[in-house]
Amino acid sequence: MNHQEPLLQIDDLHVGFKAGRKKILPAVEGVNLVIYPGQTVAIVGESGSGKSTTAHAVIDLLPGTGRVTGGRILFEGTDIVAADRRKILALRGSSIGLVPQDPMSNLNPLWRVGFQIKEALIANGVAHGKEADRRVVELLEEAGLPDAERRAHQYPHEFSGGMRQRALIAMGLAARPKLLIADEPTSALDVTVQKQILDHLDGLTATLGVAVMLITHDLGLAAERADHLVVMYRGRVVESGPALQILQDPQHPYTQRLVSKAPSIASQRLSSIKARAQVKEQAVEQAAEAAAEVAGSADQLGEGSGQILAVENLTKVFTLRGARPWQKSHFTAVDQVSFGVQRGTTTAIVGESGSGKSTVARMILGLLPITEGRVIFDGVDIQQMVGNDQRLKFRRQLQPVFQNPYASLDPLYSIYRSIEEPLRTHGVGTSKERETKVRDLLDKVSLPSTVMSRYPAELSGGQRQRVAIARALALDPEVVICDEAVSALDVLVQAQILELLNDLQAELGLSYLFITHDLAVVRQIADNVLVMQDGRVVEQASVSEVFDNPQQEYTRKLLDAIPGGSIPLAGV
Amino acid sequence: MWWYVAKRLLQTIPVIIGATFIISLMTYLRQIGGDPVAGMFGDRPVSDAVRVQIEQQYHFDEPFIIQWLLFLKGAVVGDFGTAFSGQPVLDLVKRAFPVTVTLAVMALIFEMVLGIIVGTIAGLRRGRWFDQFSLVLSLALIAIPIFVVGFVLQWLFGVEWKIFPATVGGDWTIEKLIIPAIVLGTTSFAYIVRLTRGSVAESLVSDHVRTARAKGLSNGRVVRNHVLRNSLVPVVTFLGVDLGALMAGAVITEGIFNIPGVGNLAFRAIQQGQSPTVISVITIMVLVYVVTSLVVDLLYAALDPRIRYA
Amino acid sequence: MPDISSSTPLPGQERFVASVSDTPLREVDAVDTSAPPESQWKEAWKHLRSNPLFWVASLVMVVLAVMIAVPSLFTSADPQYANLSDSLGPARDGHPFGFNKQGYDVWARTVYGARASVTVGLLATLIVALLGIITGAVAGFFGGWLDTIVSRFSDIVFSIPLLLACISVISAVNNLWPDRGYWGSIMVVVLALGAFAWPQITRQMRGAILEVKNLEFVDAATAIGASRFTNLRRHIVPNALAPVIVTSTISLGVFIVSEASLSFLGLGLPSTVVSWGNDISQAQVLVRSGDNLDVLFVPATALAVTVLGFILLGEAVREAIDPKARKS
């Protein structure tokens, strides 16, 4: 490999988007980047950092209103910014390949997968006809797709997410490009599948000598897979250099923030473990006080016992329509799950998609009927509750925070109304008293009270989640069920919300049931953890036990798959 | 896939039963309102013997449900009764059918071919003059009632410029049907232009088109394989609904241009209160709609593999 | 895994740290308190305001409303007065478009005709919207056999071509109730249209409800303790209304055209009622002879402009409400 000549060199790149007739909004400013043949360079940043825009600018695939407003992009020494149509077409696919982000929307649902890969071969003059068909199967096998011959004749909707991603990789590498742009190639996938695919990609690109521009929001992943890191923030490069150096010794304040808050890395730090222990101590104390109150009061449901939530042999079986109208198939989503949550603590349920963790949460919340088993809230079996009165009390004391910030608030309700609604439904206080309470709640979640008159569309994802948390706290619940509550948020925002949740727990003595697919986050927020796979509990223990001494194969696999989990940090 | 077909076929049965019920009900209402027998004979007097004979022949004396069921029974074997003029309704329909079918097919070809072409160009050149122009044109065509378009074109081509005959009459040829077909298809043409335009414009900015470009495909190939192909789906869906509108429009178009088709037949029969003809003709139209709608749904399944292999 | 020992970085890949002044840090996820609060409706209104087509449509609406309320502002002639000697007469003082076959003032009839035509459109739209929203909500929300029944029934009604159904109903009513008078005639046309045109709205509403009912804010409301019906009323239906509003606005125009079509066939409003449909249908014969074509074109243009106005309004509202439909 010739290290003297850079394969791709981006000099002082400026990209903007047309807004209205004259204005151009800058999206990327003054970006410099160099990639050598065979190297893997990672661009790391949160949403809005400009990392994807930079990548798309390289092959002239900016969305309609995007323009390169300055700088050069040199590929093998030639500036391609000003290149004509034909030159760019020639480059695409055969010199520079793309593996895009979302595997579902990036494959045309109407054509067979094999055909779509064949297109790449034909367009770049690699093969035609029967020869191309053969090559397609080879490429799919190369990308790690089992049963490639048969799969090539199938349609995208018949593939799983991981399989689609492999097909996209095969497509990107079909014409053997010298540079592969991988735009968040695995962020839509389960963690274990992610690891498999990235490992495979690494091996493939090493064998073929393909350089990779890896776009990702995950600092740990970037450091694990790349030699050189470029950190972007709001359209600019804030820091770049050898991956490990940046991780162990970040210099720019933004990079320092990222390194301290990124879950996969932060969770390894002793400091965050200590912080959690403190939170738990305070929370348990608060909770014990609350428990005494509950035991003595008729207004609240429950006995005031130490175990606020107990789940016994919980099972959920769905009846699905079979291939024929009279056939029915049964799908067991949750199979004999049992666990308990102590007052003032957090129990996390971890699992990949299809593990049944969300189904468990929904059953506990009473949103889904239970097939078998019991859910006992503070000594009361929720299926045995009689009358509306008891049910309403139960609802007051157990509240949810859901995953999708863009769907968890009614877009037609102002923030004030959204938070006030629970108070209204339960007839709490006068309208003046309710207003005071809403202000108080907003304060608790660190939102200015001016937000009250605003609407969800005006707030960011993180802000909406905070409103959702405020709403959940409106009725002074004892238990909050967080169903992937931070999974849809950017890294730094995620860290903020986790901190908020911890603070609230210490202050109010809340008990959390925290559903997540991200094991790394668990260490920062949970005391006990349940690992689920295919509806069953695989392992159940305290967080430290699971992390330090995992018993089951699957748990080990999950831990192993945490991106960046294996990177040694200085001064840990 | 076959289950999809079977399911769709099963769905058509209640539709046909329900539709005939409703139509029979409406015509029955007409019977009880006036004197159907007198209506048949216009101003001429009716003798009692003839009256009784006719009442028995057309079952006017039976309750509504019986009338409907008798009609259904007849329909199943293909006997749609006899018109007041004495001819079997089925014959009347058979004679009127070909011209209406030809008219409808011509209208379909016109609206689809021209509509998709115009819509695609507009979608590809979004924001430019062709797009704006086609948008305005399509809006105007939807807003102007079909019979106004009919009059205008009839006057323009038939009276003013004398290129095509203003009316068609009994001996019809394809050439004579050109203007009526354009009139019939106008509103649908406008809808198809808008639909195609929106669909093409949406496809152009979709993720999978970007990926197609990233593969190195030429613009032509991207448009053909990935934009157009995907845009066809909503247009085909629209077709299913459109056929109903075409049949309604046929009534008016055939009226304006004096075409001896099914629409005209229905209209005159309704006016003259010839209930058996009315029910039969409308039922046949409903049947045609149901069958073609089924065919369109199958076409849709052929185009979109997600339906087939769901 | 990258090599831990630090090798000399390649040219262009040396350690780089941007100056903090060039890349100032913002607070994480701070609330932007500078802009004034804006509800979804306000934002939609902003988009609507900046759309020129919206203003064109509104102008048409305003003119129309005035024409209906105070027709005398537009013409001093009497639409019910006819002088046969004026038959097909040319334009003259106070009669800008001349006279039709019976000697009525063309312009006056057009001005006064707005009332009947628009009333039919408005009332039909209201009935169809009401029927469609209720049936669609029931079908979408409750699902199961209720959904099947409603959907099958709507399929049945949908399969009968609207115009033919109206023709049948109206001619049946003609026998039952021949002298209906002004309001009677309008109600018959409105009810005929309303009885057969609702399936389209039902389908839309049902689809929208199916989409909305699975959103998380509905679950959140359930978790608070709201009953199913409260949820339906407070959260689901309001969020499902947007596409229905758009379609209804557009179909208002379509109903006005339908009335005209029915009148053309002699089955709409009786000829005693002044309406655009009647005028246009009576003018039909003139096309062949080529006489005073204003008789045809004036009411036809009024009709087309009105319908266009409603369609433009509907399209403008659609763009304002649905950000995905915007042309930017």
pLDDT digits (tens, 9 = 90+) for A14-55: 999 988 778 888 999 999 999 999 899 999 999 889 999 999
CA–CA separation, C183 vs C273, rounded Å? 10
Residues in chain A, how many?
572
Of B216, B229, B306, nearest to A123 by CB-CB distance is B216
Kindly report the backbone phi and psi dihedral angles of residue A2, in degrees, each rounded to the nearest multiple of 5, phi listed first.
Answer: -90, 105
**CB-CB under 8 Å, C265 with B32:** no
Establish if A158 touches chain B: CB-CB under 8 angstroms: yes
Mean model confidence pLDDT for chain A: 89
CA–CA separation, A99 vs B207, rounded Å? 12
* Lowest mean per-residue pLDDT among A40-49, A126-135, A255-264, A499-508: A255-264
Per-residue pLDDT band at A322 (split at 50, 70, 90): low
Q: How many CB atoms lie within 10 A of CB A372?
A: 13
Question: Under a CB-based contact definition with an 8 Å cutoff, are residues A466 and A454 in contact?
Answer: no
Segment of A273-282, A371-380, B79-88 carrying the highest mean pLDDT: A371-380
Backbone Cα Rg of chain B: 24
Q: Are strands A8-19 and A23-35 parallel, antiparallel or unpaired?
A: antiparallel
Per-residue pLDDT band at A266 (split at 50, 70, 90): low
Task: Identify any residues that bridge with A14 across adjacent strands, giving them in sequence order.
Answer: A70
The pLDDT > 70 percentage for chain C reads: 90
Mean pLDDT of C70-88: 75
Which DSSP symbol is given to C71? Answer: G
Contacts of B210 in chain A (CB under 8 A): 61, 100, 106
**pLDDT higher than 70, residue A1:** no
**pLDDT higher than 60, residue A2:** no
CA–CA separation, B302 vs B294, rounded Å? 12
Of B139, B147, B244, nearest to C161 by CB-CB distance is B244
Per-residue pLDDT band at C326 (split at 50, 70, 90): very low
In 3D space, the residue among C256, C245, C11 whose CA is nearest the CA of residue C119 turns out to be C256
The Cα of C209 is separated from the nearest Cα of chain A by a number of Å equal to: 14
Question: Under a CB-based contact definition with an 8 Å cutoff, are residues A471 and A421 in contact?
Answer: yes
The pLDDT > 90 percentage for chain C reads: 18
Segment of C18-32, C96-110, C111-125 carrying the highest mean pLDDT: C111-125
- The SS3 of residue A443 is helix
- The SS3 of residue A224 is helix
Q: Which of A9, A46, A229, A240 has the most C C-beta neighbours within 10 Å, making it the best mutation to test the interface with C? A: A240
Question: Under a CB-based contact definition with an 8 Å cutoff, are residues B31 and B274 in contact?
Answer: no
**CB-CB under 8 Å, B303 with A92:** no
Contacts of C288 in chain B (CB under 8 A): 155, 159, 166
Mean pLDDT of A78-97: 88
Question: What pLDDT, on the 0 to 100 scale, is given for residue C125?
Answer: 95
The pLDDT > 70 percentage for chain A reads: 97
Question: What pLDDT, on the 0 to 100 scale, is given for residue C289?
Answer: 64
Establish if A367 touches chain C: CB-CB under 8 angstroms: yes
Q: Which of C26, C31, C222 has the most A C-beta neighbours within 10 Å, making it the best mutation to test the interface with A? A: C31
**CB-CB under 8 Å, C307 with B154:** no
Size of interface A-C (CB pairs under 8 A): 155
Establish if A492 touches chain C: CB-CB under 8 angstroms: yes
Q: The tokens of A304 are what?
A: 């005031």
Q: The tokens of C296 are what?
A: 């045809």
Residues near A361 by beta carbon (within 8 Å), at least 6 away in sequence: A349, A400, A481, A483, A513, A515
Please give the torsion angle defined by the CA atoms of residues A429, A433, A438 and A441, in that order, rounded to the nearest 10 degrees.
-90
**CB-CB under 8 Å, B211 with A100:** yes
- HSE, CB side, 13 Å, CA atoms: give it for residue B74: 21
The ipTM estimated for the assembled molecules is: 0.84
Kindly report the backbone phi and psi dihedral angles of residue A165, in degrees, each rounded to the nearest multiple of 5, phi listed first.
Answer: -65, -40
**pLDDT higher than 60, residue A253:** yes
Q: Between vectors from CA B266 to CA B263 and to CA B272, what angle results, nearest 5°?
A: 140
CA–CA separation, A169 vs A143, rounded Å? 7
CA–CA separation, B54 vs B219, rounded Å? 70
**pLDDT higher than 60, residue C3:** no
**CB-CB under 8 Å, B206 with A111:** no
Question: What pLDDT, on the 0 to 100 scale, is given for residue B91?
Answer: 80
Question: Under a CB-based contact definition with an 8 Å cutoff, are residues A533 and A335 in contact?
Answer: no
Question: Under a CB-based contact definition with an 8 Å cutoff, are residues A127 and A176 in contact?
Answer: no
Per-residue pLDDT band at A537 (split at 50, 70, 90): very high
Residues near A299 by beta carbon (within 8 Å), at least 6 away in sequence: A393
Q: The tokens of B35 are what?
A: 């004197």
Per-residue pLDDT band at C38 (split at 50, 70, 90): low
Q: Please, which contacts does A440-444 make with residues 24 or more away whose CB atoms are closer than 8 Å?
A: A441/A470, A441/A471, A441/A473, A441/A474, A442/A415, A442/A470, A444/A470, A444/A473, A444/A504, A444/A507
Residue of C nearest to B270 (CA): C168
In 3D space, the residue among A27, A44, A12 whose CA is nearest the CA of residue A491 turns out to be A44
Q: The tokens of A556 are what?
A: 């080990």
**Which segments of chain B have a pLDDT < 70?**
1, 30-44, 46, 54, 57-58, 60-61, 78-86, 271, 273, 275-276, 309-310
CA–CA separation, A116 vs A134, rounded Å? 14
Mean model confidence pLDDT for chain C: 82
Express each pLDDT in C204-226 by its tens digit. Answer: 899 999 989 889 999 999 999 88
The Cα of A464 is separated from the nearest Cα of chain C by a number of Å equal to: 11
CA–CA separation, B84 vs B37, rounded Å? 9
The gap from C-alpha C77 to its chain's centroid, in whole angstroms, comes to 32
Kindly report the backbone phi and psi dihedral angles of residue A343, in degrees, each rounded to the nearest multiple of 5, phi listed first.
Answer: -55, 135
**pLDDT higher than 80, residue C299:** yes
**pLDDT higher than 90, residue A107:** yes
CA–CA separation, B280 vs B84, rounded Å? 13
Which DSSP symbol is given to A249? Answer: S
Express each pLDDT in A481-506 by its tens digit. Answer: 999 999 888 888 998 999 999 999 99
The pLDDT > 90 percentage for chain A reads: 53
Answer left, alpha or beta for residue B235, where phi above 0 means left and psi between -120 and 50 means alpha.
alpha
**CB-CB under 8 Å, B11 with C265:** no
**pLDDT higher than 90, residue C264:** no
3-state secondary structure chain B: CHHHHHHHHHHHHHHHHHHHHHHHHHHHHHHHHCCHHHHHHCCCCCCHHHHHHHHHHCCCCCCHHHHHHHHHHHHHHCCCCECCCCCEHHHHHHHHHHHHHHHHHHHHHHHHHHHHHHHHHHHHCCCCHHHHHHHHHHHHHHHCCHHHHHHHHHHHHHHHCCCCCCCCCCCCCHHHHHHHHHHHHHHHHHHHHHHHHHHHHHHHCCHHHHHHHHCCCCHHHHHHHHHHHHHHHHHHHHHHHHHHHHHHHHHHHHHHHCCCCHHHHHHHHHHHCCHHHHHHHHHHHHHHHHHHHHHHHHHHHHHCHHHHCC
Q: Which of C7, C39, C214, C230 has the most A C-beta neighbours within 10 Å, making it the best mutation to test the interface with A? A: C39
Give all domains of chain B, ordered by start, each with its CATH number: 2-76 (no CATH), 93-272 (1.10.3720.10)
Kindly report the backbone phi and psi dihedral angles of residue A495, in degrees, each rounded to the nearest multiple of 5, phi listed first.
Answer: -60, -40
**pLDDT higher than 70, residue C86:** no
Contacts of A63 in chain B (CB under 8 A): 205
CA–CA separation, B196 vs B228, rounded Å? 9
- The SS3 of residue A184 is coil
Place of tokens 């959204």: A418
Residues near A338 by beta carbon (within 8 Å), at least 6 away in sequence: A311, A312, A313, A314, A373, A537
> Cβ-count burial of C214 within 10 angstroms (0-12 exposed, 13-18 middle, 19+ buried)?
exposed
**CB-CB under 8 Å, B309 with A158:** yes
- HSE, CB side, 13 Å, CA atoms: give it for residue C301: 10
Question: What pLDDT, on the 0 to 100 scale, is given for residue B35?
Answer: 65
Question: What pLDDT, on the 0 to 100 scale, is given for residue C251?
Answer: 87
- The SS3 of residue C163 is helix
Q: Which of B32, B147, B284 has the most C C-beta neighbours within 10 Å, making it the best mutation to test the interface with C? A: B147
pTM above 0.90, yes or no: no
* Lowest mean per-residue pLDDT among A458-472, B24-38, C43-57: B24-38
Contacts of A89 in chain B (CB under 8 A): 216, 218
Of B206, B218, B229, nearest to A89 by CB-CB distance is B218
Of C29, C43, C216, nearest to A462 by CB-CB distance is C29
**CB-CB under 8 Å, C26 with A412:** no
CA–CA separation, A53 vs A280, rounded Å? 42
Q: How many CB atoms lie within 10 A of CB A445?
A: 23
Question: Under a CB-based contact definition with an 8 Å cutoff, are residues B251 and B285 in contact?
Answer: no
- Of residues A182 and A295, more confidence is placed in A182
* Lowest mean per-residue pLDDT among A33-42, A215-224, B67-76, C282-291: C282-291
**CB-CB under 8 Å, B216 with A93:** yes
Neighbours of chain B (3+ CB pairs under 8 A): A, C
Per-residue pLDDT band at C4 (split at 50, 70, 90): very low
3-state secondary structure A452-498: HHCCHHHCCHHHHHHHHHHHHHCCCCCEEEEECCCCCCCHHHHHHHH
In 3D space, the residue among B237, B114, B261 whose CA is nearest the CA of residue B182 turns out to be B114
**CB-CB under 8 Å, A63 with B205:** yes
Contacts of B221 in chain A (CB under 8 A): 119, 123
Size of interface A-B (CB pairs under 8 A): 87
Residues near B241 by beta carbon (within 8 Å), at least 6 away in sequence: none
Q: The tokens of B135 are what?
A: 């948008």
* Lowest mean per-residue pLDDT among A208-212, A539-543, A548-552, C26-30: C26-30
- HSE, CB side, 13 Å, CA atoms: give it for residue B137: 18
Question: What pLDDT, on the 0 to 100 scale, is given for residue B1?
Answer: 66
Per-residue pLDDT band at C325 (split at 50, 70, 90): very low
**CB-CB under 8 Å, B247 with C172:** no
Kindly report the backbone phi and psi dihedral angles of residue A314, in degrees, each rounded to the nearest multiple of 5, phi listed first.
Answer: -70, 130
